Copies of this chain bind each other. A is one copy, B any other.
Amino acid sequence: MGRESMSDDAMPDPAQDPPPFYRRHVFCCVNERPAGHPRGCCLEKGSPRLRNYMKARAKELGLDDVRINASGCLDRCELGPTMVIYPEGVWYTYRTPEDVDEILRVHVIQGGRVKRLMLHPEDGTPAA
């Protein structure tokens, strides 16, 4: 029923999707919550400064097909600052410029993973 009632426009055919506009698309949460909120927020943990650093470093490295975006609340506040890298859908927590450098070098450029900083779906408390 559902399928038959869909128009031609709506037929899912992901194999025919356009090629990616960005090879890797990074979203860094820069959301701010009121001071004292029990969940905390990525902004109070310094995410805007770290995201700006990541964006500048990506430019210096000539990563023209990569975009480092700021985003609203990614809703994993307790683990922040958090970022997610698509199309992989891999999440990281990060605290320092050195963390950002490692994510850029190992994940964004080399296609690897920085396991010590990766988040998993079941993570509900701050990473060690």
Contact = CB atoms under 8 A, between A and B. Distances in A.
A34 interface: no
Interface in A1-54: 2, 6, 9-14, 17-22, 25, 27
Interface residue SS majority, chain A: loop
A84 B38 CA distance: 31
A63 interface: no
A116 B10 CA distance: 10
A32 B59 CA distance: 21
A40 to B, nearest CB: 18
Interface of A: 2, 6, 9-14, 17-22, 25, 27, 67, 69-76, 84, 86-91, 106, 110-116, 118-121
